[in-house]
Amino acid sequence: MEELESSSPIISVFWHRTSFLLLANFRNSKNIAIFTSLIPLGEYLTALAQKLGYKVIRTSPEFGNPRGFREMIELMKNGYNAAIAVDGPRGPALKVKPGAIYLAKKTGYKILPIGVAVKRKRVFKRRWDRYILPYPFNKGLVIFGKSITVPNDTNDINNICQELERLLNQLTLLAESLI
């Protein structure tokens, strides 16, 4: 896909429940930065992500943390791609929060929606996001959507969130139908 081969960084977005499969799938990829939460569970994810080769930015549970946001912008200026669970870290599930849109608006980099499905999995039904843990030796599918450009003068953040939500759900359904 041309966005992945572009010299400009991209902002990959996905649902929080699929983050484990994506961490495993893109391990040891160069120059991918992710956010992890400062809550205790975030420590485990941070250790795993760093072991798999990701650059990790620890930040507060709400994306609006200016230090984390500035750190991600700086990394992107130095060639890192951002990977963001747009409904995390606390939900509501499958509802896009505006952080990735603000990041795209500020940097001028494109947003790349990603749909994910896995054939055999454990679904944690009591978690807010119904987190998916793929079983080993399994079949998974990652589908990249058409990238989105957010104009730096836009004030239409809510509509962009809704459109991104629609695209992510559409890609997820497509991936699930093909797996």
- State how beta strands 55-59 and 32-37 pair: parallel
Single-letter amino acid code for the residue at 29: S
Of the candidates 15, 21, 13, 16, which has an alpha carbon nearest to the alpha carbon of residue 133? 21
Interval 81-96 mean pLDDT: 89
The predicted-structure confidence for 94-117, as pLDDT tens digits, reads as follows 999 998 999 999 999 999 999 999
Q: What is the rounded distance in angstroms from the CA atom of residue 59 to the CA atom of residue 33?
A: 13
Q: What is the rounded distance in angstroms from the CA atom of residue 43 to the CA atom of residue 62?
A: 16
The reported pLDDT for the residue numbered 167 is: 96
Q: Which residue has the tokens 């978690």?
A: 127
The reported pLDDT for the residue numbered 1 is: 47
Q: What is the DSSP letter of 129?
A: T
- State how beta strands 81-85 and 110-118 pair: unpaired
Residue 171 contacts residue 143 (beta carbons within 8 Å): yes
Better pLDDT: 171 or 34: 171
Q: What is the rounded distance in angstroms from the CA atom of residue 112 to the CA atom of residue 140?
A: 19
Number of domains into which the chain is organized: 1
The reported pLDDT for the residue numbered 5 is: 53
Q: What is the rounded distance in angstroms from the CA atom of residue 68 to the CA atom of residue 57?
A: 6
Compute how many other C-beta atoms are within 10 angstroms of the C-beta atom of residue 49: 22
Q: What is the rounded distance in angstroms from the CA atom of residue 8 to the CA atom of residue 13?
A: 16
Looking up residue 53, the CATH number of its domain turns out to be: 3.40.50
The reported pLDDT for the residue numbered 178 is: 94
Q: Is the pLDDT of residue 6 over 70?
A: no
Domain that holds residue 160: 2-178
Residue 11 contacts residue 81 (beta carbons within 8 Å): yes
Of the candidates 114, 65, 124, 105, which has an alpha carbon nearest to the alpha carbon of residue 86? 114
